[in-house]
């Protein structure tokens, strides 16, 4: 089981195969066994769907038909004494799941078991994973399995969202709701934040991680990632990695064994009113540079600790999530114009991004 991280949004983590794990704050929805990271308060204002929206969503689509179409493509990933969920990518047995679902076995050969909707369980091997986007590819020893269809564009806020997976070890569980928001962020302790996530009120629980979030046409619109548990005061706040990200990253993992991420070389910090007051800043928007790595792209371009980044390219930077999302749109070698404020004066620098170093 993955070690607990300080105050993360609970992902739908691995669930102990026969034991209900304690639900902690903001839990990654993956493994249902062992300690789970604690959830954080929602990092940004969110639009919360009203109670009962799941029933309203059910009226907006033929959910039984959607389930019949997609359920054969949703699997359970058994990892030691825990489990998570996954989605069949290709009929050769390629399966997509979360990195945090399989993280615990990566140092020991990446061996897992994959359980299919028809009850069959086969051996599987982790082919590649990407901690930055929290995605992984597992090769199941089975062919001829029905592959899911992944939507190549973002869903619309308010449209039907059906979650299918194995929450708390209850395989082939279906919950329904709507897409409650786009472009959400989950801050992660001691590692890059997960950004540009879908928000849904379809119920997500430990064990759902890596499972399917499906639209009314039976297309995968997201891979379930995390939820805010009731102990935070939240009601039905779940998060999923959008299919647009999944298609891009899984394509890279299958082709290259790794995913590429552009690197700026700074430690970013959101600007709270308290920070603004302490530093004498006249704004709470933008991104404060805490550190600029020596020899990194930002430092080489003249960016210093204490600078406030306000724009990258054509994008205004309201906060850290905007910076991280914009970086995801670039690749190593891209040159980007960054606008910053230093000592009350605005200036521009050009930064050449590099490949994010491992670790």
142: Cβ–Cβ under 8 A, 6 or more apart, which residues?
93, 114, 116, 120, 122
Q: Could you tell me if 122 and 113 are in contact, meaning their C-beta atoms sit under 8 angstroms apart?
A: yes
Known catalytic membership, residue 100: yes
Which single residue is written with the structure tokens 């249902």? 32
Q: Which stretches of 173-243 are assigned E, i.e. beta strand? A: 173-186, 194-200, 212-214, 220-228, 237-242
What's 95's DSSP letter? E
Known catalytic membership, residue 134: yes
Reduced to 3 states (helix: H, G, I; strand: E, B; else coil), residue 172 is coil
Instruction: Please provide residue 175's backbone torsions phi and psi, each rounded to the nearest 5 degrees.
Output: -130, 155
Which single residue is written with the structure tokens 């449209």? 159
Known catalytic membership, residue 53: no
| Residues in the chain, overall count | 359
**CB-side exposure of 336: number of CA atoms within 13 Å?**
26
The candidate with the shortest Cα–Cα distance to 42, out of 28, 27, 26, 53, is 26
Q: Which of these is catalytic: 130, 134, 196, 322? A: 134
Which single residue is written with the structure tokens 């891209």? 334
First-to-last C-alpha distance (Å) of the chain: 20
Q: What per-residue string of b and e applies to 49-66 under the rule 16 or more CB within 10 Å gives b?
A: beeebbeebeeebebeeb
Which single residue is written with the structure tokens 């604690």? 38
Which single residue is written with the structure tokens 């709701």? 177
What's 21's DSSP letter? P
Q: Which of these is catalytic: 73, 209, 236, 243? A: 209
CA angle 177, 183, 189 (to 5 degrees): 100
The candidate with the shortest Cα–Cα distance to 209, out of 76, 70, 37, is 76
50: Cβ–Cβ under 8 A, 6 or more apart, which residues?
none
Q: Which of these is catalytic: 85, 100, 193, 322? A: 100
Catalytic residues: 100, 134, 209
């Amino acid at each position: 089981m993955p070690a607990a991280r300080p105050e993360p949004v609970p992902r739908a983590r691995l669930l102990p195969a026969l034991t209900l794990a304690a639900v902690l704050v903001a839990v990654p929805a993956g493994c249902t066994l062992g300690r789970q990271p604690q959830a954080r308060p929602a990092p940004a204002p969110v639009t919360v769907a009203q109670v009962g929206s799941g029933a309203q969503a059910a009226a907006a689509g033929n959910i039984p038909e959607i389930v019949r179409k997609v359920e054969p493509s949703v699997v359970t990933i058994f990892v030691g004494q825990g489990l998570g969920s996954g989605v069949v990518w290709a009929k050769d047995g390629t399966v997509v799941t979360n990195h945090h679902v399989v993280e615990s076995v990566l140092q020991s050969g990446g061996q897992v078991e994959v359980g299919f909707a028809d009850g069959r369980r086969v051996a599987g091997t982790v082919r590649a994973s990407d901690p930055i986007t929290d995605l992984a590819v597992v090769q199941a020893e089975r062919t001829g399995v029905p592959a899911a269809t992944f939507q190549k564009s973002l869903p619309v806020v308010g449209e039907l969202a059906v979650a299918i997976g194995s929450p708390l070890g209850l395989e082939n569980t279906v919950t329904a709701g709507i897409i409650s928001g786009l472009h959400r962020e989950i801050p992660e302790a001691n590692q890059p934040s997960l950004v540009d996530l879908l928000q849904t009120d379809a119920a997500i629980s430990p064990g759902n991680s890596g499972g399917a979030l499906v639209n009314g046409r039976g297309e995968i619109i997201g891979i379930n990632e995390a939820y805010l548990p009731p102990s935070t005061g939240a009601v039905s706040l779940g998060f999923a990695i959008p299919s647009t990200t999944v298609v891009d990253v899984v394509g890279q993992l299958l082709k290259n064994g790794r995913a590429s991420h552009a690197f700026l070389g700074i430690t970013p910090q959101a600007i709270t009113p308290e920070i603004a007051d302490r530093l004498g800043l006249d704004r709470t928007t933008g991104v404060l540079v805490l550190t600029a790595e020596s020899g990194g792209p930002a430092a080489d371009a003249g960016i210093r600790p204490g600078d406030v980044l306000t724009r990258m390219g054509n994008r205004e930077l309201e906060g850290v999530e905007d910076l991280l999302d914009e970086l995801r749109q670039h690749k190593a070698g891209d040159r980007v114009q960054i606008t910053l404020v230093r000592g009350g004066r605005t200036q521009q620098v050009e930064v050449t991004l590099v490949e994010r170093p491992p670790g």
